Every structure is written in C-alpha cells, then in structure tokens.
Amino acid sequence: MFRQRNNSLHDPESDERQHESKVNELRDAIGPLSGCSLKYCSDECLRRYLEARNWNVEKTKKMLEDTLQWRSTYKPEEIIWDEVAIESETGKAFRANFHDRHGRTVLIMKPGLQNTKSIDNQIRHLVYLMENAILNLPKEQEQMAWLIDYTGWSMSTSVPIKSARDTVHILQNHYPERLAVAFLYNPPRIFQAFWKIVKYFLDTKTFNKVKFVYPKDKESVELMSSYFDIDNLPTEFGGKATLNYDHNEFSKMMSLDDQKTAALWEFTPKNSQPL
C-alpha cells in the first residue's frame, strides 16, 4: 500500500555537507601551514583537489602535498613575464581578451607558431600563463577554457613525447580542476599519431574535457558555439572576430599583472616598478 521512500535520490544539501566535512578532514590531515602554502590552500583549492581524487581524503592529501612541494621549489607565482616573454613573441600562446559564455578566462594556443627550442622554458611559459589565467578569473569562476589552433602544426613543431608527458603531469597534478574544456581546432591527420600517445597520459576527467572541432563538422561547430559567442570568437576558430596579437601590448599587460601577482603572494617582484 505504501512505498518506501527512495533514499538514493540525489540530495544536494547532503552532498554539500559531506563535501564540507571532507574539506575539514583534509585540512586537519595536512596540518598547520604557513606562507604561500597557507594562502594557496583555500577551501576552494581543497575542494578542487578533492574533486580530482573523487573525494578520497588520503589520495587527495598525497596529491596536495606533492603540489606544495613542487610549488616550494618551482615557485610558479614568482615567474615574471620578462623571463618567458620570448615564448610569446610569435603569439603561440596568450590570454585572450574575451571570455567564454560562462565568463571563464580563455587561453589561446597556436602550436604551429613554435619559435623556441628550450623545453624547460616552454613549460615555464605555460605555467606562467596558467597562473596568470587564474589571477584573472572572475570571483565566481574556478576554471578556464583553452582554444588550440593547429594551423601550421607539424611533427617538426611538436614537443617531444617526454616533454608532453611532463607538461600533462604538471597540469593534471598541480592544477587540478582548473581546466573546464580544451578545444583542439582543426588538427591535421598527422596529429592523430601524436594524440594516440599523448592521450594515455591523461586521466579520464581530463580526457573527457578535450574536444576536437572541425570546421566542416556541424556537431562539433555547434558544440563550439555553445561555449562561445561567435561574435567574440576569432575567425581562426570559426567565429566572426578579428584577432591581432600585439606582443608589445600584451607584454605591458603581463608586466602589470606581475605586480598584482606579487601583491597577492606578498613578495617583492623582480625588476619591480610602481604601478
């Protein structure tokens, strides 16, 4: 006569309470922090790491401690634009002047415009751009979007597989849940051989965020337009906007952001000049 209520129904309030409990448990597990580590480990940060490890506190603790160790030696927040500016001279990677439909920061990458040989500095440049994109996220946003244009890409301009693996490791393990979506726009057929190897370095969550877009494929183009306003999207990504990368202007903007970063992390920037 009476049916038992289904307790398996999704309860957002219960989920939130459980997640809050996990955040507190993780904070207790990692113990007292100081300096940059304390500032880095906000509740939002702990939630991202927990999400990346499916809310397993023990696994998350290991992941977070590895990141704190990496940040203490690599010091990504202290990289300044002058140290990596050469990497952007051709416009191969930079922060866009528009957002996606969710207000997220957008990074544009054009690997076909590769202009340097130092893999270490290329990775430092990407780390710098990640930190800068995070700096410029709206308060209500935790994630960013990537647009990758494969015009002119060839095996000769691609990074070595080991470097690709190292880069993926940094992004997945030290910037968890920072990527919302990555659009790989019109990659050539030869890219498939490279991708078959690289995709094995990606965890399932990251892999599912990678979207291939081909201008003649209606479904992928519609997916692209669901994320971006076509009027703001550059023509090289199927939009209507004209994108002219000006390295000098971008450098000025990054130099100003360097001082904002230094103020946020409370240190004196190298080559500091007053705002």
The β-bridge relationship of strands 105-109 and 93-99 is antiparallel
Q: Provide mean pLDDT across the span 132-152.
A: 94
pLDDT of 2 reads 42
- pLDDT of 4 higher than 90: no
- pLDDT of 33 higher than 70: yes
Q: What is the DSSP string of 65-93?
A: HHHHHHHHHH-GGG--HHHHGGGGTT-SE
Residue 167 CA: distances (Å) to CA of 3, 123, 205, 273: 54, 7, 16, 32
Q: Give this prediction's pTM.
A: 0.91
Say how far apart CA 149 and CA 249 lie, in whole Å: 22
- pLDDT of 272 higher than 80: no
Q: Of 210, 201, 204, nearest to 165 (Cα)?
A: 201
pLDDT of 11 reads 77
Q: Provide mean pLDDT across the span 187-194.
A: 90
Structure tokens, 72: 């203490």
The pLDDT-based confidence of 162 (bands split at 50, 70, 90) is: confident
What does the mean pLDDT of the chain come to? 92
Least confident range of 3-7, 112-116, 203-207, 227-231: 3-7
Q: Provide mean pLDDT across the span 57-74.
A: 98
Q: Provide mean pLDDT across the span 90-109.
A: 96
Say how far apart CA 229 and CA 98 lie, in whole Å: 10
The pLDDT-based confidence of 13 (bands split at 50, 70, 90) is: confident
Residue 55 CA: distances (Å) to CA of 59, 77, 83, 172: 8, 27, 37, 16
Q: Provide mean pLDDT across the span 30-38.
A: 95
Say how far apart CA 88 and CA 102 lie, in whole Å: 26
Structure tokens, 46: 């702990």
Phi first, then psi: give them for residue 111, nearest 5 degrees: -60, -20
Say how far apart CA 125 and CA 254 lie, in whole Å: 12
pLDDT of 146 reads 97
Contacts of 8 (CB under 8 A, 6+ apart): none
What percentage of the chain exceeds 90 in pLDDT? 82
- pLDDT of 275 higher than 90: no
| Backbone CA torsion sign across 81, 84, 90, 95 | negative
pLDDT tens profile 105-119: 999 999 999 999 999
Q: Provide mean pLDDT across the span 148-155.
A: 90
pLDDT of 245 reads 96
pLDDT of 231 reads 95
What percentage of the chain exceeds 70 in pLDDT? 95
- pLDDT of 224 higher than 80: yes
The pLDDT-based confidence of 267 (bands split at 50, 70, 90) is: confident
Q: Provide mean pLDDT across the span 45-73.
A: 97
- pLDDT of 262 higher than 80: yes
Q: Provide mean pLDDT across the span 258-274.
A: 81
pLDDT of 9 reads 59
| Cross-strand partners of 210 | 182
**How open is the CA angle 157-253-230, to the nearest 5 degrees?**
65
pLDDT of 10 reads 64
